[in-house]
Amino acid sequence: MLILASASPRRKTLLKEIANDFEVVVSTFEENALLLAPKDLATYFAKQKALQVASEHPNDVVIGADTIVVLKDEVLGKPKDDNHARQMLLSLSGKSHLVYTAFCIVGNGQLIEDFDKTKVYFKTLSKKDVDDYVATGSPLDKAGAYGIQDCNFVEKIEGSYSNVMGLPQEKIAICLKQFDL
Whether the Cβ atoms of residue 76 and residue 143 lie closer than 8 Å to each other: yes
Catalytic status, residue 66 = yes
Active-site residue, from 66, 73, 81, 150: 66
The H or E element that residue 69 is part of is: strand 61-71
**CA dihedral over 132, 133, 138, 140, signed as positive or negative:** negative
Domain boundaries, the chain: 2-176
- DSSP-assigned states of every residue in 9-52: HHHHHHHHTT-SSEEE----PPP------HHHHHHHHHHHHHHH
pLDDT at 37: 86
pLDDT at 33: 66
Domain 2-176 part of CATH 3.40.605.10: no
Residue 89's CB is within 10 A of a number of other CB atoms, namely: 25
| Digitized pLDDT (tens) for each residue of the chain, 181 residues in all | 999 999 999 999 999 999 989 999 999 998 776 778 888 999 999 999 999 999 999 999 999 999 999 999 899 989 999 999 999 999 999 999 999 999 999 999 999 999 999 999 999 999 999 999 999 999 998 999 999 999 999 999 999 999 999 999 999 999 999 987 7
Q: What is the pTM of this model?
A: 0.92
